[in-house]
C-alpha cells in the first residue's frame, strides 16, 4: 500500500543556505498548512497502478507531490530532476527523501503523471484562496 507520508524525519537532508533553499522552505510551509492538497494527490496515486522500485514499496504521495512541484518550479526535465534529487541537498530536503533512497527519471515520471489535471486545478484553487487570504493576490479568476 502506498504511504501518504514517508516517516524518515531523522534521515532527511537539510536545506542549504541558498536563496532557492529559502524559497523551497516557504513552499514547504505552505504545503504543510494545506493537508487537503496531499489528500487530493494521495487519492490520484491510490487509483493508479502502484509502482515498486528494486524492492521498495514506492514513493509516498508526499514525495510525488513535492517532486512534481520542484520539477515545475525549477523547469527541469525528468532527467534533471533525477540528477538534482540525487545531488542536491536542498532538493532532497524539499522532497523529503531519506539519504538512502533515489528514484530514476522514469519512476519519477510514472508517478508524477498520475496526478490528474483535475487535481492540479483543485490545488491551484486552494493556493489562489490562500494567496487572497494572506493578501498576496486577489482570488479572482
Q: Does 26 map to a domain?
A: yes
Instruction: Please tell me the predicted confidence (pLDDT) of residue 55.
Output: 43
Residue 57, SS3?
coil
Domain that holds residue 79: 10-115
Q: From CA 60, how far away is CA 41, in angstroms rounded?
A: 10
Strand partners, 12: 98
* Beta-strand runs (E) in 1-141: none
Cα(135)–Cα(48) distance, rounded to whole angstroms? 37
Domain count, the chain: 1
List the pLDDT tens digit at each of the 141 positions of the chain: 566 666 555 455 666 666 787 899 899 999 999 999 999 999 999 885 554 444 456 789 999 999 999 999 999 999 999 999 998 888 898 998 877 788 999 999 999 999 999 999 999 999 999 999 988 866 455
Residue 138 lies in a domain: no
Whether residue 90 is contained in a domain is answered as: yes
Q: Is residue 131 part of a domain?
A: no
Does some domain include residue 128?
Answer: no
Examine residue 98 and state whether it is found in any structural domain, yes or no. Answer: yes
pTM equals: 0.80
Contacts of 99 by beta carbon, 8 Å cutoff, 6+ apart: 11, 13, 92
> Would you give the DSSP letter of residue 114?
T
DSSP structure class, residue 101: -
CA distance 69 to 112: 10
Establish if 95 belongs to a structural domain. yes
Q: Does residue 29 lie in a domain region?
A: yes
Amino acid at each position: 500500500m502506498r504511504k501518504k507520508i514517508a516517516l524518515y524525519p531523522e534521515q532527511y537532508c537539510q536545506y542549504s543556505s541558498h536563496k532557492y533553499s529559502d524559497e523551497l522552505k516557504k513552499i514547504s510551509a505552505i504545503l504543510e498548512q494545506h493537508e487537503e492538497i496531499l489528500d487530493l494527490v494521495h487519492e490520484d496515486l491510490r487509483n493508479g497502478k502502484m509502482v515498486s522500485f528494486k524492492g521498495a514499496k514506492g514513493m509516498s504521495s508526499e514525495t510525488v507531490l513535492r517532486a512534481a512541484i520542484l520539477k515545475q518550479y525549477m523547469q527541469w526535465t525528468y532527467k534533471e530532476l533525477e540528477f538534482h534529487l540525487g545531488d542536491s541537498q536542498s532538493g532532497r530536503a524539499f522532497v523529503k527523501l531519506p539519504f538512502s533512497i533515489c528514484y530514476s527519471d522514469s519512476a519519477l515520471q510514472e508517478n508524477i503523471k498520475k496526478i490528474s489535471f483535475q487535481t492540479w486545478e483543485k490545488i491551484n484553487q486552494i493556493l489562489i484562496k490562500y494567496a487572497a487570504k494572506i493578501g498576496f493576490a486577489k482570488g479572482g479568476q
